[in-house]
Amino acid sequence: MKSKLIMLTFAISCAFAGNAMALTKEEYKAQKDRVEADYKGSREKCATLSANAKDICQTEAKGAEKVAKAELEAQYKPGPRHDRNLRDVKADTAYDIAKEKCDDMSGNAKDVCIKDAKATRTAAKAEAKVSGGNADANKGQSQ
């Protein structure tokens, strides 16, 4: 029983350690190719739509590709700079999608929608700076 518990603990720790390790060049290339293939597939699904629904779909597909590439880069070259870039890309992508959804509106409702999208992006970027600064501070304390 005790050996099973030790083996289980070892297996779990290896799984978590594997996620924290940087990707090899081959893994990075394979994942990058997969991201590009996923984007092409998503973009093709948008072809059946029309008007603003198509624009939203394409913006979501492009945003998912940007986020996936930023995540991949953060895994391939771990560090605070890539983590900060990932948070910025996520904030910009959410803004682009929200702004595209605002195009269905008109007048004051559209203006309010765009302002809300900008405020959300600004808050997300500020949060990214704060959490990035905390990570840098914690790194300095642990050394």
Between CA 89 and CA 79 the distance in angstroms is: 16
CA–CA separation, 125 and 88 (whole Å): 6
Look at residue 1 in the predicted model and tell me its pLDDT: 43
Query: What pLDDT is stored for residue 134 in this prediction?
Result: 56
- Domain membership of residue 61 (yes or no) is yes
Residue 32 lies in a domain: yes
Domain membership flag for residue 8 = no
Task: Name the pTM for this structure.
Answer: 0.68
Count of domains in the chain? 1
Its domain, for residue 35, covers 25-142
pLDDT digit string (tens) for the chain, length 143 residues: 454 444 444 444 444 444 455 778 888 889 889 999 999 998 889 888 888 889 999 999 999 999 999 998 888 888 888 888 888 899 889 888 888 888 888 899 989 999 998 898 888 888 877 776 555 555 544 44
Residue 64 forms part of a structural domain: yes
Question: Is 19 part of any domain?
Answer: no
**pLDDT tens digit string along 55-65?**
999 999 999 99
In a domain, 7, yes or no: no
| DSSP state, residue 49 | -
In a domain, 63, yes or no: yes
**pLDDT for position 19:** 46
Distance between CA atoms of residues 88 and 121, nearest Å: 9
Residue 82 domain flag: yes
